[in-house]
Structure 1
Amino acid sequence: MRWAWQRSRRLGASAPVAGTLAQAKELLAELVDQQWKDEARLRSLDDPDPIPVRWRTPDAAELMDHAVNIDPSAAPPSGPAGGAARLWWAASSAEIGALADRFRRTRRRRLVILGGPGTGKTTLAVQLLLHLLATRTADEPVPVLLLVAGWDTQRHPRLQDWIADRLTGDYPALRSPELGAEVAPALAGRGHILPVLDGLDELPPPAQTAVINALNRSLGGDDQLILTSRTTEFTAAISAAGDLITSAAVLEPLPLTPAAAADHLTRCLPPSPGPAWQQTLTALRATPLADQTPPGQEAVHRPAAALAELTATPLGLWLVRTVYTAPGADPTPLTDPDRFPTSATLQAHLLDQLIPALIDARPPSTNSAEPFRPRRRRHPAQVRHWLGYLAHHLTTQPATGGQGTRDLAWWRLAATTHTFTPTTRLTFASITTLTTGLAVGLATGLTFGLETGLAFGLVVGLAFGLVVGLATGLTTRSWAQDPPGYADLHIRRRSAALVRSLATRLPLGLAVAFAVAFAVGFAGQFAVGLVFGFPDDMARLAPEFPDGLRVGLEFELLIGVAVGLGVGLPLALALGIMAWAATPAPTHHATTPMSSWRTDRRLNLLRFSTTTLALALTITITLGLVTGLSDGLRYGLEFGPAVGLAFGLTVGLAFGKHRAWWAYLFATWKLARAGHLPHRVMPFLDDCHRLGLLRTVGPYYQFRHAELHDHLAATHPPTHNTGRRHRRPT
């Protein structure tokens, strides 16, 4: 059995193939490009043009390495490599090609993008990533955007090890047999990946410092990097670490001028926007920013002060555009100082109106050719309530040092909402015990007669039920910690792989068959032979011993063979199907929250169904061969499915590494019953992503803007016991 198991594993897994790195890089580049092109279209980053944010190197000398360490050509003819040398780089998000060219000319191609809230740091990183991909040569690394908040520097001290782990999870195609199991570590370890690490500020301060130190330890002379962070958090992190990001250029945004903001809004409006918009745009252009206004003249020279300050950031400009450029919207309140005396009050108003505006602007559609429209229309108050709960829930999570998290992982809902309380686990175990016991007991009674079934079936059913209930009750606690699994059931272009998977598991099945045959037919019947061979007179032991052994081997070994075949062949079938389904195809797309949810659901249902089928076949084949083909098959068909269903449920729930979908079902049922979330949470989140309220990075959802997250969390009423039903907003 051990030899067969090892042989099946060796044959089932592809060894690393030399010379596949170039193929893997091209495949990864295609996946990343499609992933972020779709996300950029959903975010309307180029509609009608990118917001023209200007970027430059910061004045603060402590934020950036010496200019000569970044680019020797940046040093001035005279003087030290500092001071004026720090003004050598200026760029604009509207001219991303020039920025990418300047990035490529730096010594080690390392860049840190800083800025305050809503200044377009992630947007610039995505724009740069897409342009680098579009103009990439074969010898250049593939830029891959990753959430730096997911990097545990204690578990993965080296950046490359963490990148390899994320590549295999976010891009399953890299695990295809055609490429080999070691492709992702090779890509990450040999400089073929340009990590674009987003959101250093989302980590707690000690973790930010640990990331700075780990980056400097991990980056070699040729390793490239792009990192985004809020300026305040980055400054504190490098101060605590006592070190900079070696050889990394640093960019900070300049405020959008009122004229630039007005020009962008003009391009988003119809050619004749109407007098209200013309007056608003005129007032905006005539309002200088606060740091450009002479003292004492604010009231005279700043007719649209709050609007000018708000639209100085890409976030504020996007909010104004989204809420007020819709047909029929009246922009007059935007310049009303009595209603919105500050940019903060105006931003809060726009965040309140964002959900209704997006729902009205994007009506639902079931047409697959319209991926940026929701599948179902929901009331804005409901959406606000449900998203508010999620925002508040993420903010109050203790998992990241008490400061919460920005990442919404669907498989973590059960753990973070404490779904599996002792009462829940006991209730679930009791239900599975009763239902399984009843099913097996009825099957026994129907198979062997009513009288026998009532006596024997209750005992058998209770035994089966206790096994299932005990197994599920003991393992439900661990479900909430399971990560999502993977299963691909598409047969197109994968039929040959299925046949190979079944063939490689056949030796294991035959080994199990022979082992069971030996155990049942030889060991068990050897004891029978001994019993029948022992006479009352112990002196006759030796003469009768061979006859007893012969009887046991001749007449009962057939039973062992029957049982062995009944166990081994279905086992090979189940293992072959599971191994085939767990092998990604080289054409598989990048992982998204919805795709990870679907594949984990598929894995759990496949595990349940294949186990049920295998055990049902085992009982049917065994009874058929042991008791005769006619009666045995009848008994097997009557008794096998019930027992197979019972054990299939046990194996599907109690065994395996990935039961995130089961945990998700429990968590969302309880949260929906309490009124915190809808019953179908993932379709709801998918619609919010289509609306532009959420964004995706790998298998995680995030609110499109951290300010939206914080606003919804702050304005959501406090939640109490999730087990009590609450009225939903109407």
Structure 2
Amino acid sequence: MASMRNGRAWWPWVTVLVAVAVVLVLGVVTFAPLTGEGGLQIAANRAQLTGGFLLAAAVPLILALRWARHHSRELATQTVPSPETLSRAKDMLAELVAEQWKDEARLRSLDDPDPIPVRWRTPAPGEHTPAIMDHPGLIDPVAGAIGHGLWWTASSADIAAIITRFRRTRRRRLVILGGPGTGKTTLALQLLLHLLATRPQHHDEPVPVLLPIAGWDTERFPRLHDWMTDQLLGGYPALRGAGFGEQVVRALAARGHLLPVLDGLDELPVSAHTVVIGALNRSLGGADQLILTSRTAEFTDAVTRAGDVITSAAVLEPRPLDAGTAADYLATCLPPEPGPHWQHALATLRCSPPPGQRPPGHPATALADVTATPLGLWLLRTVYLTPGADPGPLTDPACFPTAADLQAHLFDQLVPALIATRPPSSNPAEPPRPRRRRDPVKVRQWLEYLAHHLTHQPAPTGAGTGTRDLAWWRLAVTTQAVTPATRLAIALLTTAFGLTAGLAVGLAVGPAVGLGAGFAGGLGAGFAGGLGAGLLLSCVAGSWAQDRPGYADLRVRQRATELLRELAAALGIGLGIGLGIGLGAGLALGVEVGLGTGLAGGLGVGLTSGLAFGLGAGLTWWAETPAHGRRAQTPMGNWRADRTLNLFRAINNGLAAGLGAGLAGGLLGGLAEGPRFGLAFGAGAGLAFGIAGGIAGGFALGDHRAWLAYLVATHRLALSRCLPYRLMPFLDDCHRLGLLRAVGPIYQFRHAELHDHLAATYRPPG
């Protein structure tokens, strides 16, 4: 089977050879009629026509080459992965996931000074109607054997105990429920990190991978494993590297080597809840594991509508933090001697009556209700546990009569408090800090716009509106940034760039051919290349907003072998294509200058241009191939990688096209007009045309143009004062401040409640 597939991998290259033959025939058909009396009489015109033919033929041949390379690799990798390959892929993925979420936990200060001790338990029998948890015997064989229900208590301060109990369950499936801000995602992240930390003692266990379930489009990916494969290939580029690829990742997902930690079922549209419950149960085999988080009300409604629960999954729900526990946690965050004002506030909090027994106007009512959740504790700690902060108003019912009033106040003060307490720094030895000082007013305005925009934009899954996920590459499509006016501006700018390139080339070749001839040739060729490329860019710009980010790895160290392999393959193919084109051009030139001279010149043109294009293609292929050991994708790293890919591809293609067209133009011009004038003139015109068309072609013909769409969107939004020009550095600073969290290559607001508060307070600029 493997040999047959490897044989099939050569079929795309047969297609390329057929394309070369077709181009050769077209060349003969094009130039043969010119031998009669009505043919071209001036050799320069013949040379220009030949050059135009070569450049026009290069575009479909390059596209055929890209297609052949992609499909041959796809066919060659359709083999059954060996156990050793799967083991190596698991080990590498575990390292990437651990490094990714250790950094994120550090940014979220989850262990500073200790985890918030949230108490969790399984629901008691009859507590929920209908039941939200499966039969106890399907979850824990011991509970089923003795005829008792499943009763499970745990604390976020003792993750090891939760993991021990989780490993004893029959299929290791867990649903984490709770209200807003109760620590569901935090517990899931703690479980993931502990599973990875203890993996050396449990090497055969699956690798936990945290994914936002709101991104699961069940129409496109009916099976959970297919969606996970797509997400892992996008979020962990090293899995696309040599030796792995889609087939290996698909095998990891399908054979139970991954533990999906799916966060935020409640963030899906209500209409999708039932569909996802059914899709999960259909996707999970007997040995498949799962951790799922959701708000309690949304999950209860989902299982009610679906008429089914998550098979064999235990359920944990949080208990509210009591006032004493909250006061003890705040005390550990304060200095050993916090001062009289804080001592009074903590004493008042500890003495507050239990919920439901607090009389109206009690000093600690609002404070105790807010600190009953991890979100409230985090807000209070961030805003008030700072030097000079006065906690007196926290226990004054006149200032904050209700918990809603106090929480709204904390949200309003969050941005300036974080900016004041986390000054900019680029020292990696310090805790994460923003890169530059930000204006709190502008930060609040820009975040309000983003929250409002995410709340009202179409959902990525196509069902309903609104999302929690801020994917930078979707900004262009959700703001409809690429308009007809934008396309016209792109065409004009590209044409202007072509004229600039032509002007520079004209100045360079002017001393050899005369300034007039140099400017005429350079500007003419630059205008032609720029205009053609501008029209091409304006045509394809409409699809930029639909592209996903790409990847480019330009590190030569430890990748020299890959570079040589890609260059050898691309140069061989480029020279083969150049040979075919050169023969056709040589036959055409032979009519004017003699068969021998024409063939020599045509082959020289074809081989030099093929060498240049092959060199450019090989470098691009090598840059797009991920390297092992690469970090997991972060939003900033994902954006930089796509920017690098687009710029490298444009510059590389511009240099390759300029070199190839310059050499071809010089040879043709030398044959047509002589070495003194024609060589310099033809080389200059070809260089101007090639650079202008090649750079723009690098932007137009690539598979990933998300960065270009991002540029259009951010400049339009900056002009309307909705967002800053340099959006990604701004979002990176907000992440470092703790206002945003990163989940793979996307951002989310630190808490859904913060997202909703900012969206509700948004006011359009001006």
TM-score, with structure 2 as normaliser: 0.86
Give, in whole Å, the separation in 2 of the partners of 1:579 and 1:181: 18
Q: Which residue does 2:732 correspond to in 1?
A: 686
Matched, 1:135 2:198: yes
Equivalent residue for 1:610, pick from 652, 657, 661: 652
Q: Which residue does 1:723 correspond to in 2?
A: none
The one-letter amino acid of 1:235's match is T
For structure 1, which segment, 186-195 or 414-423, has the greater mean C-alpha deviation from structure 2 after superposition?
A: 414-423
Quote how far apart the aligned CAs of 1:465 are: 3.4
Q: Which residue does 2:137 correspond to in 1?
A: 68
Equivalent residue for 1:664, pick from 710, 733, 751: 710
Residue aligned with 1:290, SS: coil
Which digits, 9 at most, give the CA deviation of each residue in 1:571-609, with x for residues without a partner?
111111111111111110000101110110000011111
Q: Which residue does 2:308 correspond to in 1?
A: 243
Give, in whole Å, the separation in 2 of the partners of 1:363 and 1:166: 35
The one-letter amino acid of 1:611's match is N
Equivalent residue for 2:227, pick from 162, 174, 179: 162
Q: Which residue does 2:179 correspond to in 1?
A: 116
Matched, 1:231 2:296: yes
Indicate if the aligned counterparts of 1:441 and 1:459 stay in contact, CA closer than 8 A. Answer: no
The one-letter amino acid of 1:643's match is F
Residue aligned with 2:174, SS: strand
Residue aligned with 2:259, SS: strand
Equivalent residue for 1:411, pick from 473, 478, 490: 473
Give, in whole Å, the separation in 2 of the partners of 1:40 and 1:619: 53
Quote how far apart the aligned CAs of 1:438 are: 5.3
Q: Which residue does 2:53 correspond to in 1?
A: none
Give, in whole Å, the separation in 2 of the partners of 1:7 and 1:278: 73
Indicate if the aligned counterparts of 1:512 and 1:567 stay in contact, CA closer than 8 A. Answer: no
For structure 1, which segment, 626-635 or 109-118, has the greater mean C-alpha deviation from structure 2 after superposition?
A: 626-635
Which digits, 9 at most, give the CA deviation of each residue in 1:490-511, with x for residues without a partner?
1111122111110122221121
Indicate if the aligned counterparts of 1:12 and 1:501 stay in contact, CA closer than 8 A. Answer: no
Q: CA RMSD in A?
A: 2.3
Give, in whole Å, the separation in 2 of the partners of 1:652 and 1:373: 37
Equivalent residue for 1:555, pick from 576, 591, 597: 597
1:693-704 matches, cutoff 5 A: 693-704=739-750
Residue aligned with 1:182, SS: helix
Extract unaligned runs of 5+ from structure 2: 1-12, 18-64
The one-letter amino acid of 1:62's match is A
Indicate if the aligned counterparts of 1:437 and 1:466 stay in contact, CA closer than 8 A. Answer: no
Give, in whole Å, the separation in 1 of the partners of 2:371 and 2:686: 69
Equivalent residue for 1:298, pick from 348, 356, 359: 359
Give, in whole Å, the separation in 2 of the partners of 1:7 and 1:258: 66
Give, in whole Å, the separation in 2 of the partners of 1:153 and 1:8: 31
Compared CA separation, residues 633 and 183, structure 1 to 2 (3 A): farther
Quote how far apart the aligned CAs of 1:303 are: 3.0
* Identity of matched residues, %: 59
Compared CA separation, residues 9 and 118, structure 1 to 2 (3 A): closer
Give, in whole Å, the separation in 2 of the partners of 1:309 and 1:630: 88
Q: Which residue does 1:715 correspond to in 2?
A: 761
Q: Which residue does 1:196 correspond to in 2?
A: 261
Which digits, 9 at most, give the CA deviation of each residue in 1:598-621, with x for residues without a partner?
110000011111111111111232
Compared CA separation, residues 453 and 602, structure 1 to 2 (3 A): same
Give, in whole Å, the separation in 2 of the partners of 1:70 and 1:110: 8
Q: Which residue does 2:248 correspond to in 1?
A: 183
Compared CA separation, residues 183 and 371, structure 1 to 2 (3 A): farther
Q: Which residue does 2:555 correspond to in 1?
A: 490
The one-letter amino acid of 1:110's match is R
TM-score, with structure 1 as normaliser: 0.90
Matched, 1:387 2:447: yes
Equivalent residue for 1:620, pick from 662, 674, 678: 662
Which digits, 9 at most, give the CA deviation of each residue in 1:177-235, with x for residues without a partner?
13354221111111100000001111101222211111011000000000001111111
Which digits, 9 at most, give the CA deviation of each residue in 1:399-427, with x for residues without a partner?
35444111001111111112112222222
Give, in whole Å, the separation in 2 of the partners of 1:632 and 1:351: 72
Compared CA separation, residues 502 and 636, structure 1 to 2 (3 A): farther
The one-letter amino acid of 1:113's match is I
Give, in whole Å, the separation in 2 of the partners of 1:108 and 1:519: 67
Quote how far apart the aligned CAs of 1:431 are: 2.8
Which digits, 9 at most, give the CA deviation of each residue in 1:677-730, with x for residues without a partner?
1221111111111111100001100000011111111111135xxxxxx5xxxx
Quote how far apart the aligned CAs of 1:513 are: 1.3
1:232-631 matches, cutoff 5 A: 232-291=297-356, 293=357, 298-299=359-360, 302-370=362-430, 372-399=432-459, 401-437=463-499, 439-440=501-502, 443=505, 448-452=513-517, 460-522=525-587, 524-525=588-589, 528=591, 553-626=595-668, 627=670
Residue aligned with 2:546, SS: coil
Indicate if the aligned counterparts of 1:8 and 1:504 stay in contact, CA closer than 8 A. Answer: no
The one-letter amino acid of 1:495's match is A
1:7-86 matches, cutoff 5 A: 15=77, 18=82, 19-58=84-123, 59-60=127-128, 62-75=131-144, 77-78=146-147, 85-86=149-150
Which digits, 9 at most, give the CA deviation of each residue in 1:471-503, with x for residues without a partner?
111111111111100000011111221111101
Indicate if the aligned counterparts of 1:619 and 1:640 stay in contact, CA closer than 8 A. Answer: yes
Give, in whole Å, the separation in 2 of the partners of 1:316 and 1:457: 67
Give, in whole Å, the separation in 1 of the partners of 2:577 and 2:70: 15
Q: Which residue does 2:34 correspond to in 1?
A: none
The one-letter amino acid of 2:761's match is T
Matched, 1:96 2:159: yes
Indicate if the aligned counterparts of 1:437 and 1:465 stay in contact, CA closer than 8 A. Answer: yes
The one-letter amino acid of 2:157's match is A
Give, in whole Å, the separation in 1 of the partners of 2:526 and 2:439: 48
Which digits, 9 at most, give the CA deviation of each residue in 1:148-181, with x for residues without a partner?
0111011111100111111111111111213354
Compared CA separation, residues 467 and 95, structure 1 to 2 (3 A): same
Quote how far apart the aligned CAs of 1:557 are: 1.0
Give, in whole Å, the separation in 2 of the partners of 1:469 and 1:432: 5
Quote how far apart the aligned CAs of 1:663 are: 1.1
Residue aligned with 1:245, SS: coil
Quote how far apart the aligned CAs of 1:457 are: 5.8
Indicate if the aligned counterparts of 1:132 and 1:143 stay in contact, CA closer than 8 A. Answer: yes
Give, in whole Å, the separation in 2 of the partners of 1:611 and 1:310: 58
Q: How many residues align?
A: 686
Compared CA separation, residues 277 and 470, structure 1 to 2 (3 A): same
The one-letter amino acid of 2:486's match is T
For structure 1, which segment, 403-412 or 419-428, has the greater mean C-alpha deviation from structure 2 after superposition?
A: 419-428
Residue aligned with 1:94, SS: coil
Indicate if the aligned counterparts of 2:173 and 2:314 stay in contact, CA closer than 8 A. Answer: yes
Compared CA separation, residues 592 and 562, structure 1 to 2 (3 A): same
Give, in whole Å, the separation in 1 of the partners of 2:145 and 2:642: 57
Compared CA separation, residues 309 and 570, structure 1 to 2 (3 A): same
Q: Which residue does 1:207 correspond to in 2?
A: 272
Residue aligned with 1:145, SS: strand
Give, in whole Å, the separation in 2 of the partners of 1:515 and 1:298: 91
Indicate if the aligned counterparts of 1:25 and 1:142 stay in contact, CA closer than 8 A. Answer: yes
